[in-house]
Structure 1
């Protein structure tokens, strides 16, 4: 009997409804090859749903999503709706209610994708971003709204549990790679939360004596990533710093259009969510030229999380082979449409010999 994985699909906004079906097609192909089934359930939530209903998703959305093994998200964002509404109305509630405290963002130079940075031909790093606390806390507010003395307060919340578990995840991941963790901080200027981050990370990594720990201030890290992008292995950072540095690293590798991410609940008590980094890209939405690699790679990460490692590797190898052949979408300097690139990836997957033990 085939293995069945129940996947909730939220294509969302902008180019999401273009790249999500493209990725689903390739994932279905590789699933068929390896004898498992991805049972997709699509939900029409996002900005279009907001325009009709005044909310990004229904009140029972979290309960509905909890019934699935994983969530496959396209993009969230609409120029006509404030980002605070789109982000806090869908993405962040899912991350927090499902305790997806790891935001995992691999960054790697891909074949045929030149970097704008000299010496960045062999970038291979992973950013481990704390995903549910830190600078993106809901604690704070506005005082004297719309008056001359108006004030805004935003509190950054760091807990020992939160910092410890993200540091442990980074250390365990580094053990599977090159055994180096770089912790990004700003403890010379932010005098309470960042020294606390440093202390807890150091205490945690002391339990992993085979893993080298380096501490780098975030401003220096931004420069180092440009000057020495191949020098890093696993980078662990707070919610804000990890968010910013992952976009920078993606651009150094060639394009944030190819960058994936996973919002992980490592204990698997709740479903994890997989999405590309690129956002809704409203400037090219509807033109059929969006790069589907970020979504495909996010899908490969989802397969790996579901225990389908061999299938995940094939998806990555297939889009890498298409890139190496010179076929690229316009964001990478090519002329291929979303559909044309997807067709090439799918064709390569179908041409592979059947794995042993499958029919």
Structure 2
């Protein structure tokens, strides 16, 4: 009998530990499909695009590759980065070569403090901390505008120009996205991050758009914070945060800081969203390819599995997404932790423990399992 709901997933393991953690996430998706009793099916197609593929073919994505991806409901991405290829070549050759043409303009990075995980923040011991970084993902400092010239003048004379692009449309859509997300959270607050005292053009435009948009959300608390002050706030007053919205570069840095404060980059999940759904969205852990531990079987799969939960949210399966997140929490709370969180579990053991926790919680749920009929909220893509 055919599944009630079938989803086409494009898997791009990429480089380094990407294949190891994506495999772990797919095992969890397989368990979700099995536990649904045939209601769900995830049809996975793997694309071997990686730095090894680049070295063999001279490009990361073959001709017509994006059109192939576009036929899928979502993209599950591992990592890109190799010692054999310069980082700017690999990033622009694969990840940004997908996010930009697919206009995945909203990047969501939850900062999640898991039970059983020791945070370097003393405040995390007695204060509930949970916030989301919303990253403008299409322009800003990663717009790719600029160039290098004048090398003919001789050694030491070359000039490089990197232009940050901020458009009113780009600012408004990500800021509205952040406000809509804040309305779905227990604390309805948006913190806008810029460096407008020094960057008096693009960042001031951002501030002006934020001031205009917030008038449409009188029920949402707001604040404007300079990026250096927000870095300090992440450490000193994280309990004041709910939704943090920032430009491409600022949010990239802040979200890594948030994940480190939660315990490790290995637990950090993200979603690259095209909210209009004209293109498939892409879900990835943010820890990178980690070539130093590739092949050792010790990679932390939690970030990839949590990214799969964000993908389930986006596919309209919020109950299943919550079940996966609960399985992660049950596993860490029981003391089963990977090496980067101070534990002893390898990738396989941790994945098996999460799958087992998922099975146990599913068994204890009502006979029909997670609610298949519940519609996701308007901002379900954010995985709030």
> Would the TM-score normalized by the shorter structure come out above 0.5?
yes
Q: How many Å separate the matches in 1 of 2:118 and 2:277? A: 37
Indicate conservation of the 8 Å contact 1:50/1:56, yes or no: yes
Listed as ranges, the matches of 1:329-340 within 5 Å are 329-340=338-349
Q: How many Å separate the matches in 2 of 1:231 and 1:28? A: 38
Please give the per-residue CA displacement for 1:188-214, whole angstroms capped at 9, x wherever unaligned. Answer: 111111111100111111111111110
Please give the per-residue CA displacement for 1:7-40, whole angstroms capped at 9, x wherever unaligned. Answer: 0000011101111111100111112222200100
Q: 2:297 aligns with which of 288, 293, 314?
A: 288
Q: How many Å separate the matches in 2 of 1:357 and 1:339? A: 29
Would you say 1:271 and 2:280 are equivalent positions?
Answer: yes
**Aligned residue pair count:** 359
**Structure 1 residues without counterparts, runs of 5 or longer:** none
Would you say 1:132 and 2:141 are equivalent positions?
Answer: no
Shift of 1:358: 6.5
Shift of 1:355: 5.1
Q: How many Å separate the matches in 1 of 2:89 and 2:151? A: 19
Indicate conservation of the 8 Å contact 1:27/1:315, yes or no: no
Tell me the secondary structure at the aligned position of residue 304 of structure 1.
helix
Listed as ranges, the matches of 1:120-199 within 5 Å are 120-121=124-125, 122-145=128-151, 147=154, 148-177=156-185, 178-199=187-208
Q: 1:74 aligns with which of 78, 83, 90?
A: 78
Aligned to 2:350: 341
Q: How many Å separate the matches in 2 of 1:75 and 1:284? A: 13
Aligned to 2:380: none
Shift of 1:350: 2.3
Shift of 1:87: 0.3
**Structure 2 residues without counterparts, runs of 5 or longer:** 371-384
Aligned to 2:47: 43
Q: How many Å separate the matches in 2 of 1:358 and 1:209? A: 38
RMSD between aligned alpha carbons?
1.3
Q: How many Å separate the matches in 2 of 1:304 and 1:212? A: 25
Q: How many Å separate the matches in 1 of 2:343 and 2:369? A: 36
Please give the per-residue CA displacement for 1:331-356, whole angstroms capped at 9, x wherever unaligned. Answer: 00011110011111112222332654
Would you say 1:252 and 2:261 are equivalent positions?
Answer: yes
Q: How many Å separate the matches in 1 of 2:68 and 2:47? A: 10
Aligned to 2:13: 11
